[in-house]
Structure 1
């Protein structure tokens, strides 16, 4: 079921058992920020991106290595080489996503990012090495930037698809079908927001971080909060701006976000994460955040 009807979605979601699959990934993949610089096409609809003068490629590369080392302490993590012709490729979760036994290639809005979908090495990793079946959405016309636009509760097979210039309604349906989800709620992001995963994170299937200002309709936030109560954490505008919503659980007991995001967390948010059973880990990523994304955007998940 894929719907804009909040009540219909809630009725289905509340009756859905947590037996869809593991709540967190079994491995991760990253793409190195080789050639990291301002991508003008991407900047057209990503207000989080900094000016060209703020990009520091060497610092971004060093921080990305720190992230890889940190993640590799808790689960297998592979990092593919970057490509100077694809300066946004360090955010691979927009282009490649996985479900049990399959991988999905997304359709990016901007031509500079569409190049990433053609990478034979990443496709070969999933197809030849892991033996995953392919669902290729990259050649159809509807933008669907995978787990940038679609936040997934992997334990229950629920999707939250925020529409923007990076994902339209048909793109949401294509992702829902390709990932085999049980129920997906479709809604509009607030004007100026480009990806759902900047304003929403489902943590190991039992808690949620949400930035109310990122949603066009407050009723959507209320519904998501009701679904994950008592572990629904609504973030302040400062936490939103600091990328605290761009977080990920890579295990059942730990939430990861950037160092900048961790520093803007209120005591109430920290306490709510602890009450939900999560420790907090962070990695300094200020140079990478100049590119308009943060820690979760850098992490592709292997299920």
Structure 2
């Protein structure tokens, strides 16, 4: 089911067991910030992006390399080259994502690469990259589901935060993912239930204000939702949840990811901003925090989770 009815979603979600699939990815890939610069088109609906003079390409490359090294200690992590004509390519999770059939329905579909439809034309070139498509098709043996040519924006795991353990989706509606795009994503990932909700004015992606960590914990920024009550309602589904304060959201604390069952990865900016309450929640949920300095990359309006495309 896909719905905007919170009560209906909660009723369905409570019955979903954590048997949909692995809670964390088996590998990941990055795209290097080669040609790193401000994409003015993308800046039109990304309030987190710095002015052009706030971009430091050399520092971004060094920080991205440190990120690659840090993630490689957690799981196999590949890195593709970027290009000067794709300045936002260092955030590949908006364009490429993977899906596997749930464990109860292995016949539903083969492992697949999903290619998203980006809102801004400056990012359409990323979706056309043959090297990434060929890696999944010819090396990994994945099928391909290409949504990039249809008219509805659906920026994959930027717009859609997925609880991979239970097959639940949380889709933030904005100019970067409309209602039809949300339905396409729900089907593409074969999810059991998806809640679609409006983001607060000025927010562009759900994964900046919401993170599901290894299927058992949630970071959520109520002020990133048009209706903060939705944030509180879905947080109640998890045994461990932290409601982020505004300064934590602004520091990208919600743009975190769990790549193992015991580690949460986030930027150093986010880590420094964590409240005592959030730190206590993560510790009680059994997580340690690994952070990487990404100040130069955050000038582009995204943080660590945005850089990581998961391979399931």
User: When the two structures are superposed, what TM-score results if normalisation uses the length of structure 2?
Assistant: 0.96
CA drift of 1:249 comes to: 0.1
After superposition, the C-alpha distances for 1:27-49 in whole angstroms (9 at most, x for unaligned) are 00000000000000000000000
Q: Does 1:273 align with 2:282?
A: yes
After superposition, the C-alpha distances for 1:75-122 in whole angstroms (9 at most, x for unaligned) are 000000001100000000000000121110000000000110000000
After superposition, the C-alpha distances for 1:144-195 in whole angstroms (9 at most, x for unaligned) are 0000000000000000000000000000000110111110000000000000
Tell me if structure 1 keeps the 8 A contact 2:242–2:277. no
Tell me if structure 1 keeps the 8 A contact 2:25–2:310. yes
SS in 1 for 2:8: helix
SS in 2 for 1:273: helix
- What does residue 44 of structure 1 align with? 44
User: When the two structures are superposed, what TM-score results if normalisation uses the length of structure 1?
Assistant: 0.99
Q: Does 1:90 align with 2:96?
A: no
Distance 2:157 2:235 in 1: 20
CA drift of 1:218 comes to: 1.8
- What does residue 35 of structure 1 align with? 35
| Residues 4-153 of structure 1: pairs in structure 2 closer than 5 A | 4-100=4-100, 101-153=111-163
- What does residue 290 of structure 1 align with? 299
Could you list the structure 1 runs, at least 4 aligned residues long, displaced by more than 3 angstroms after superposition: none
Distance 2:186 2:84 in 1: 32
CA drift of 1:223 comes to: 1.2
Distance 2:296 2:136 in 1: 29
Q: Choose from 190, 197, 213 the match for 2:223.
A: 213
CA drift of 1:219 comes to: 2.1
CA drift of 1:266 comes to: 1.2
Q: Choose from 266, 269, 272 the match for 1:260.
A: 269
CA drift of 1:232 comes to: 1.1
Gaps of 5+ in 2: 101-110
- What does residue 189 of structure 1 align with? 199
- What does residue 171 of structure 2 align with? 161
RMSD: 0.5
Q: Choose from 232, 235, 255 the match for 1:225.
A: 235
Distance 2:7 2:74 in 1: 38
Alignment length, in residue pairs?
302
SS in 2 for 1:138: coil
